[in-house]
Amino acid sequence: MTIKQFLVALSFIVSGYVFAQTPWQSTLLSVGNDGSLTYKPDVDGFILPDFSHAGYKGGGVELPIVSTVKIISPIVGDNTSNIQNAIDYVGNLPLDGNGIRGAVLLQAGKYDVYGTIYVNKDGIVLRGIGDGANPATSTIIYARGNNPAQRDVLILGVTSQINGKTQLSGTKSFITDNIVPVGSFTFNVDNAALYQVGDRIIVYHPCTQKWIDAVNQGGVPYPDPSAPTDPDERWVVNQLPISYNRFITNISGNQITIDAPVFYTLKNSISASYIYKPNVDGLINQVGLENLRIDIETLGGEDEDHAWQAARFKSCENSWAKNCTFIHFGQSGIITEACTRSTFIDCSAIDPVAIITGERMYNFNTYVYSQLNLFQNCYARNGRHHYVSNGTSSTSGNVFLRCVSDAVNNSNEGHRQWTQGMLYDNHKEINLIRDFVLGLYNRVNLGTGHGWAAVHSVLWNCDVTSSYGKIALQKPPTGQNYAIGCFAKSITGNPISATNFPLGFVEGQNKGGLVPNSLYESQLANRLKLTAIKQTKKEEGVSIFPSLAKNEINVVLNTKGIDTLLRVRNSTGHIESEIKTTDNQAVISTNKLSSGLYFLECITENKTQTLKFLKK
pLDDT digits (tens, 9 = 90+) for 541-599: 455 544 444 567 767 665 556 778 888 877 666 788 888 887 767 778 887 888 777 77
For residue 213, give every residue at least 6 positions away whose Cβ sits within 8 Å of its Cβ, in sequence order, or none: none
| Residue 253, pLDDT score | 97
Give the side-chain half-sphere CA count within 13 A for 509. 19
| Rounded Cα distance, 107 and 130, in Å | 9
Question: What local confidence, expressed as pLDDT, does residue 466 receive?
Answer: 77
Phi-psi region of 54 (alpha: psi -120 to 50; beta: other; left: phi over 0): beta
Sequence-distant (6+) residues with CB within 8 A of 23 are: 513, 514, 515
Q: How far apart are CA 563 and CA 583, in angstroms?
A: 8
For 98, 137, 372, 476, 513, the CA distances from 103, given in Å and listed in that order, are: 14, 19, 25, 45, 43
Backbone angles phi, psi at 8, to 5 degrees: -65, -45
CB 570 within 8 A of CB 563: no
Residue ranges of domains in the chain, CATH in brackets: 64-164+281-410 (2.160.20.10), 539-615 (2.60.40.3080)
Q: Shortest CA distance to 460 belongs to which of 391, 387, 509?
A: 509
Task: Give mean pLDDT, residues 311-332.
Answer: 98
Closest by CA position to 55, among listed 339, 284, 338? 339
Tell me the mean pLDDT in the region 100-105: 98
Q: Could you read off the pLDDT of 375-385 as tens digits, one per residue?
A: 999 999 999 99
What one-character-per-residue DSSP string does 112-157 give?
EE-S-EEE-STTEEEE-S--SS-TTTSEEEEE-S-SSTT-EEEEEE
Residue 575: the pLDDT is 82
Distance between CA atoms of residues 141 and 135, nearest Å: 10
| pLDDT at residue 358 greater than cutoff 80 | yes
Q: Which string of DSSP letters, residue by residue, matches 278-341?
A: B--TT-EE--EEES-EEEE---STT--SS--EEEEEEEEES-EEES-EEES-SSEEEEEEEEES
Structure confidence by residue, pLDDT tens digits, 132-161: 999 999 999 999 999 999 999 999 999 999
CA nearest neighbour of 48 among 428, 456, 332, 605: 456
Residue with the larger pLDDT of the pair 603 and 45: 45
Residue 472, classed as helix, strand or coil, is strand
Q: In whole numbers, what is the pLDDT of the chain averaged over residues?
A: 90
At 101 the pLDDT is 98
What is the average pLDDT across 34-52?
Answer: 95
Q: pLDDT-based confidence at 605, cuts 50/70/90?
A: low
Question: Considering only 72-76, 265-269, 513-517, 608-612, which range has the smallest mean pLDDT?
Answer: 608-612
Instruction: Return d(Cα 43, Cα 414) in angstroms, integer.
Output: 23
* Statement: residue 75 has pLDDT above 80: yes
Q: What is the three-class DSSP state of 65?
A: coil
User: Between 47 and 577, whose confidence is greater?
Assistant: 47
pLDDT, one tens digit per residue, over 334-355 is 999 999 999 999 999 999 999 9
* pLDDT for residue 411 is more than 50: yes
pLDDT score of 368:
97
Q: What is the pLDDT of residue 19?
A: 37
Q: What is the pLDDT of residue 470?
A: 95
CA distance 524 to 614: 8
| Mean pLDDT within 162-181 | 97
pLDDT at residue 491 in the model: 94
Structure confidence at residue 559 (pLDDT): 57
- Residue-level pLDDT at 18: 38
pTM (predicted TM-score): 0.85
Contacts made by residues 491-496, CB under 8 angstroms, sequence distance 24+: 493/441, 495/436, 495/439, 495/441, 495/470, 496/436, 496/441, 496/443, 496/444, 496/446, 496/472
Residue 517 has pLDDT above 80, yes or no: yes
